[in-house]
Amino acid sequence: MNQLAVDVRGLRKRYGPVPAVDGIDLAVRHGEVFGVLGPNGAGKSTTVEILQGHRSRDEGEVSVLGADPATAGRAWRARVGIVWQDESAPAELTVRETVRHFARYYARPRSPEDVIAMVGLQEKADSRLKALSGGQRRRLDVALGIVGDPGLLLLDEPTTGFDPAARHRFWDVIRGLADEGTTVVLTTHYLQEAEALADRLVVIARGRVVAEGEPAALRRRYGEEATVGWTEPDGRTREFRTKTPTRTVAELMSRFDGEVPGLRIVRPSLEDVYLRLTGQDGGPAAQEGER
* Phi, psi angle pair for 36, to nearest 5°: -120, 115
pTM of the predicted model over 0.85: no
Q: Within the chain, where are the H helices?
A: 44-52, 74-77, 95-103, 112-118, 134-146, 164-179, 191-197, 215-222, 245-256, 270-277, 284-290
Q: Which residues of the chain have pLDDT under 70?
A: 1-2, 85-88, 280-291
DSSP string, 259-279: PPTT-EEEPPPHHHHHHHHTT
Contact 69, 52 (CB under 8 A): yes
Please, what are the domains in the chain? 4-219 (3.40.50.300), 223-290 (no CATH)
pLDDT digits (tens, 9 = 90+) for 196-232: 899 999 999 889 999 999 988 887 777 777 889 999 9
pLDDT at position 87 is 64
- Cα gap 151→174, rounded to integer Å: 13
Percentage of the chain lying above the pLDDT 70 cut: 93
pLDDT at 35: 94
